[in-house]
Amino acid sequence: MYKVFVGDIPIILSTDQNIGENYYSAPIKEANIKQIVKKIKKGALQKVHLYHAEDSKLLTHFKKQLQPILAAGGKVNNDNGEILFIFRKGLWDLPKGRMEKNESIEATAIREVEEETGVKKLRLSKPLPTTYHVMERNGKFRLKITYWFEMQTSYSEALIPQTEEGITLAEWKDFEESRKALQNSYANIQLLFPKAYLNAD
C-alpha cells in the first residue's frame, strides 16, 4: 500500500478492491488521476482509493499520468537526541531537495540537508520510509518522490537556514518541541516519526 498526498489528503494505492464504503474507489489503470487531484484540491473528494492486483504496478501506473520528481532528505539527530527541523511557508518540515543528474539518493540527502541548514559532519544511519506527494509546477501536476534517511551528527555550531529557498528557521528540537512542531507540519512528514511523537496532548 502507498499513500500519495495531495496536501494532507492521501490517495490510497493498494491491491485491495475495497477498503471501505466511504471511499471513491477505481482501478488505477482507468482512473484520471489529474482530475482526481483537481477534485481533492477543490474539496470535492476526501477519500480516494485506487487499486491494482499487482502491488508493483500501482506506482508504475501513477507515474504514467504524473511525471515524477525525485528528491531526498534527512531526519537528523544530534548528540543531545534533538531533531533538526526547518520552517518554511508557515510549516515545520525536514530538510530535503531535488536530486541532481547522476547523483545518488544518499549524496542528494546529505547535500540538501547541508545546504538548507548549514549542518556538517553528517552520517547516514538507516533509510526511512519513502514519501509521495503531488505538487504543481508550471501549471502541471507532478509526483514528488522523496527518499529519506535517518542521520547523525556531532555538529554543534550555529545553523544557517537557506533563505533563498524560503527557509526562515533551522532549529534543533527535543522530544516535546518536536511533538509540537509536528502539529504544524505535513502529513507525509509525520509518517517518518514514531507514534509517540504524534500523540501530543
User: What pTM does this model have?
Assistant: 0.93
Question: Which pLDDT value is given to residue 138?
Answer: 87
Query: What would the pLDDT profile of 39-95 be if each residue is shown by its tens digit?
Result: 999 999 999 999 999 999 999 999 999 999 999 999 999 999 999 999 999 999 999
Which of 110, 38, 35 shows the shortest CA–CA distance to 72? 110
Fold exhibited by the domain 74-123+154-197 = Nucleoside Triphosphate Pyrophosphohydrolase (3.90.79)
Q: How far is CA 9 from CA 3, 109, 122, 191, in A?
A: 9, 25, 33, 13
* Residue 35 host element (H or E): helix 33-42
Using 50, 70 and 90 to split pLDDT, how confident is the model at 139? confident
